[in-house]
C-alpha cells in the first residue's frame, strides 16, 4: 500500500451479513466508507438508498461519496420464489455496477462471488479457479452468480478499472440470516434422523470476519501490474479469482 493513494470505499449490500462486517473492518482500520443498499440497517456511516439495477443511483452514490474502491456484495438470498430476481440483480445489476464504476473513474471493484459458481451437484475436491463453470448450472442462483462473476472479471482493465472476485462457500457468524436459519428449519421439521452421504462429506464454512478480511486484502492487493510485479503476483489478470 505504501506510496499508493488511500482508497475511499463504497460497500454495495453493506446492510447485509457480509457487507456489514466489511464496513466494520474498514471503519476499524480508519478508512472512509459509505453503504449503498435497498434497506438501511446497522451503520452510522453515509448511506445511499438505491437498487443496483439503477445505474444512475449508483453513479450518484459513487460521485457523492468520492468512492475509489467499490465492494459489491449485494445479491438476493438463495431460495427466492421467482428466480428471475437472481438474473435481474446478479447479472443486470452487476452490469450496472461495472458501467457506473467505469463512468465515474473508480479504480477498484471487488465482487463477492460464491463457491457455487462451479458446483454441478457432484463432489468438488481440491479445486481452484482453473475449473470452468459447469455446462449445466446447479440452479439459477449459482448460474446468476457465475454470470455476474464472469462480467466482473471481463471488466478488468476497462477504463483503468481493476477487478477481482472472491468465492466463499458457506459463511457463519453473528448476523447470519441463511445458514443457521436453514439448519434450524430442518430441526423444526424433524429432519434430523438422516444423513447425506456416508458421514465423510466435507463442506467449507468460513467465519464471516475472515470472509470480510479477504475482501479488504483483495482490495489492497488490487494494484496496477507494475506494482504487483514487485511481489511477483499478477493480480492484474482476468483470472484473478481468489477461491
Taking CB under 6 A as the criterion, the residue among 46, 76, 134, 209 binding ligand NAD is 76
Contact map string, positions 190 to 229, toward ligand NAD, x by CB under 6 A: ----------------------------------------
Taking CB under 6 A as the criterion, the residue among 178, 227, 237, 243 binding ligand NAD is 178
Q: Which helix (H) or strand (E) holds 95?
A: helix 94-104
**Rule CB under 6 A: is residue 75 a binding residue for ligand NAD?**
yes
Residues 6+ apart with CB under 8 A from 204: 115, 169, 170
Tell me phi and psi for residue 242, to 5 degrees. -95, 115
Grid cell, residue 33, equals 466508507
Between CA 95 and CA 29 the distance in angstroms is: 30
Taking CB under 6 A as the criterion, the residue among 109, 155, 171, 216 binding ligand NAD is 171
Q: Minimal CB distance to ligand NAD: which residue? A: 16
Our CB check for ligand NAD shows the closer of 90 and 236 to be 90
Between CA 34 and CA 22 the distance in angstroms is: 11
Contact map string, positions 3 to 42, toward ligand NAD, x by CB under 6 A: ----------x-xxxxx-----------------xxx---
- Annotated catalytic sites, by residue? 145
Taking CB under 6 A as the criterion, the residue among 58, 61, 74, 219 binding ligand NAD is 74
3-state SS assignment for residue 175: coil
**Rule CB under 6 A: is residue 114 a binding residue for ligand NAD?**
yes
**Rule CB under 6 A: is residue 170 a binding residue for ligand NAD?**
yes
Tell me phi and psi for residue 154, to 5 degrees. -70, -25
Our CB check for ligand NAD shows the closer of 76 and 224 to be 76
Between CA 231 and CA 220 the distance in angstroms is: 13
Nearest to 152 by CA among 95, 219, 208: 95
Using the rule CB under 6 A, give the single segment among 127-135, 172-180, 189-197, 233-241 that binds ligand NAD.
172-180
Between CA 130 and CA 150 the distance in angstroms is: 13
Between CA 108 and CA 156 the distance in angstroms is: 9
Our CB check for ligand NAD shows the closer of 11 and 240 to be 11
Alpha helices in 107-178 (DSSP H): 140-154
Provide the binding-site residues for ligand NAD, judged by CB under 6 A.
13, 15-19, 37-39, 51-53, 73-77, 89, 93, 112, 114, 145, 168, 170-171, 177-179
Amino acid at each position: 500500500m505504501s506510496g499508493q493513494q488511500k482508497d475511499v470505499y463504497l460497500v454495495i449490500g453493506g446492510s447485509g451479513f457480509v457487507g456489514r462486517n466489511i464496513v466494520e473492518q474498514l471503519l476499524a482500520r480508519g478508512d472512509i466508507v459509505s453503504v449503498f443498499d435497498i434497506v438501511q440497517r446497522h451503520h452510522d456511516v453515509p448511506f445511499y438508498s438505491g437498487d443496483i439495477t439503477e445505474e444512475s443511483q449508483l453513479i450518484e452514490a459513487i460521485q457523492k461519496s468520492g468512492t475509489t474502491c467499490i465492494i459489491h456484495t449485494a445479491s438476493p438470498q438463495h431460495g427466492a420464489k421467482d428466480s428471475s430476481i437472481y438474473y435481474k440483480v446478479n447479472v443486470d445489476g452487476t452490469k450496472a455496477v461495472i458501467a457506473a464504476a467505469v463512468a465515474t473513474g473508480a479504480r477498484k471493484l471487488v465482487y463477492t462471488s460464491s463457491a457455487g459458481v462451479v458446483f454441478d451437484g457432484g463432489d468438488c475436491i481440491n479445486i481452484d479457479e482453473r475449473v470452468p463453470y459447469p455446462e449445466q448450472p446447479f440452479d439459477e442462483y449459482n448460474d446468476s452468480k457465475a454470470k455476474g462473476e464472469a462480467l466482473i472479471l471481463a471488466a478488468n482493465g476497462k477504463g483503468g478499472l481493476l477487478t477481482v472476485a472472491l468465492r466463499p462457500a458457506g459463511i457463519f457468524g453473528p448476523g447470519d440470516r441463511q445458514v443457521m436459519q436453514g439448519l434450524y428449519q430442518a430441526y423444526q421439521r424433524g429432519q434430523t434422523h438422516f444423513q447425506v452421504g456416508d458421514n465423510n462429506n466435507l463442506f467449507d464454512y468460513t467465519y464471516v470476519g475472515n470472509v470480510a478480511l479477504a475482501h479488504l486484502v483483495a482490495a489492497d492487493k488490487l494494484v496496477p501490474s507494475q506494482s504487483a510485479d514487485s511481489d511477483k503476483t499478477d493480480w492484474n489478470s482476468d483470472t484473478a479469482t481468489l477461491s
